């Protein structure tokens, strides 16, 4: 039976989600050269929230999938031997208008994940 060739994969964007996707695919692919990541930032990257030593990652997404990826990144950076001394978990600040339910919807994503986003919240 012929072996199935691994597909070539193109990932657009090397931010938190693009880099996470590339990382996880690289663990599954036998031939990492089948992965291509394109980003508009030249290499090496200029300092930015998710690329320099100041790892600022937000997890306040309406999508549970994106929230999980963000928490996965925070966990990895807090345990990565080269970065853990520089990574510090932060709180959450939500600025919203009175007539919007965005903050409540994001809180529901946190609650569904088992977090209590209203603990120690100032209103």
**Per residue in 12-54, pLDDT tens?**
988 778 888 888 888 888 887 889 988 877 665 565 555 555 5
Tell me which residue has tokens 């199935």.
Answer: 4
**pLDDT at site 121:** 45
**pLDDT at site 36:** 92
Q: What is the pTM of this model?
A: 0.51
Nearest alpha carbon to residue 17 among 70, 61, 77, 55:
70
Instruction: Measure Cα distances from 20 to 14, 31, 51 in Å.
Output: 8, 17, 13
Higher pLDDT, 41 or 110: 110
Task: State the sign of the Cα–Cα–Cα–Cα dihedral 42, 44, 45, 51.
Answer: positive
With a pLDDT cut of 70, the percent of the chain lying above it is 74
Look at residue 111 and tell me whether its pLDDT is greater than 90. Answer: no
The SS3 of residue 71 is: helix
**pLDDT at site 54:** 54
What is the rounded CA–CA span in Å between residue 43 and residue 47?
11
Token pair listed for 73: 């990144």
Look over the chain and give the mean of its residue pLDDT values, rounded to a whole number: 76
């Amino acid at each position: 039976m012929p072996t199935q060739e691994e597909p070539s994969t193109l990932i657009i964007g090397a931010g938190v989600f693009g880099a996470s996707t590339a990382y996880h695919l690289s663990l599954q692919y036998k031939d990492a050269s089948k992965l291509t990541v394109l980003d508009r930032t030249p290499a090496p990257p200029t300092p930015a929230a998710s690329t320099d030593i100041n790892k600022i990652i937000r997890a306040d997404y309406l999508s549970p999938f994106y929230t999980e990826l963000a928490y996965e990144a925070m966990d990895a950076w807090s345990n990565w031997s080269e970065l853990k001394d520089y990574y510090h978990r932060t709180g959450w600040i939500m600025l919203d208008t009175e007539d919007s339910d965005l903050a409540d919807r994001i809180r529901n994503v946190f609650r569904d994940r088992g977090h209590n986003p209203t603990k120690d919240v100032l209103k």
